[in-house]
Structure 1
């Protein structure tokens, strides 16, 4: 076998195609043709039909519904006391990080977030003339009514003192008044606590003949 045939046989070997690196972005950019992904640390919806919406007012539970005012996953939690609030993505992440940093000493302890920022907030610059359409997107937020549970702690047995301290640090990151609750907490309808009705037993009345 000569040298030319050897070089030809070496060139005829099939090689796998080179894999091009992919870049993950948090924003949709179909023109670039890149692989888009939403990171786990980013609180943002995966798909948005209308990127610009109205802020609207805070919801008020006037119909009597108490869903979301008691614990569902953990043993301790915090819920809004007083007026509702519009919480931003950064505020929720800061509160969640404060809770996880405090309860990481307990093996298996988890932090549950009961709300999710899916409201796009658009802001126009200062000293801008009227018109020219709606402002540009700035951040994600969520409208939370009064009495709604925001964070829960569970997954493993944890002392009430440690859970109270972790949730207290989370309350300092939120711009509203909160209250500490546990499994024995009653539902809240706005600013009204729905206490269970107690049946009053009375002695039977004996009828006279």
Structure 2
């Protein structure tokens, strides 16, 4: 059944296929869902893993479409192509099908038809990274700023030394306990009281 739906979607043309679309899905229609909030204390995906520079979400979590991510990636690649061996890494993938019903449609009659692919991204998640070759910070900042302008959320520029983020908080590593020198004890002789 799922294979038949997928074949129908492929036959519809470019409405179903996108460069960032997953190759195979079991069910083409899914629930809308909510943007995850990292309440358990996990900071996974909030630091760089592959590159030297990157951007991550600073504002509230948001849903990115495949077209938005592809446009931002194209901007980055166009900007860094002057550096031989430079690569752009996309850290999220649009694997959630979004279905839309037509305007002024009456209630009922089932779920709407497939429209586009999307992904839900929480606050603090890294979206893009740049690496693969030594890149100047000015060039990386410029490329990632242009990409952030294409995405519907507030982004922040991060490096290898940037601490992980848990929601709106930055998690700084605990400083090592530096042993304090022992107290120097001095004995003070008190002169005898006068008239005693």
Question: TM-score of the superposition, structure 1-length normalised?
Answer: 0.79
Structure 1 distance, partners of 2:32, 2:79, is 34
Q: Deviations over 1:57-93 (max 9, x none)?
A: 1000000111110001000000000211100011000
Structure 2 distance, partners of 1:117, 1:186, is 26
CA contact (8 A) 1:171 1:178 kept: yes
Identify the range of structure 1 (198-207 vs 120-129) with the bigger mean alpha-carbon deviation.
198-207
After superposing on structure 2, the runs of 4+ consecutive aligned residues of structure 1 that deviate more than 6 Å are none
1:203 aligns with 2:181: yes
User: Aligned-residue CA RMSD in angstroms?
Assistant: 2.1
Partner of 2:60: 83
Question: 1:166 Cα shift?
Answer: 0.1
Where does 1:143-158 land on structure 2 (aligned, <5 Å)? Answer: 143-158=120-135
CA contact (8 A) 1:115 1:150 kept: yes
Question: 1:190 Cα shift?
Answer: 0.8
Partner of 1:45: 22
Question: TM-score of the superposition, structure 2-length normalised?
Answer: 0.84
CA contact (8 A) 1:74 1:154 kept: yes
1:100 aligns with 2:69: no
Structure 1 distance, partners of 2:39, 2:156, is 21
1:185 aligns with 2:157: no
Q: Deviations over 1:125-176 (max 9, x none)?
A: 1100000000000000000010000000000011000000000000010000
Structure 1 distance, partners of 2:85, 2:109, is 52
* Structure 2 residues without counterparts, runs of 5 or longer: 1-5, 186-196
CA contact (8 A) 1:82 1:190 kept: no
Identify the range of structure 1 (47-56 vs 161-170) with the bigger mean alpha-carbon deviation.
47-56
Structure 2 distance, partners of 1:200, 1:107, is 44
1:169 aligns with 2:146: yes
Partner of 2:32: 55
Q: How many pairs align?
A: 175
> Which of these two proteins has the greater Rg computed from alpha carbons?
1
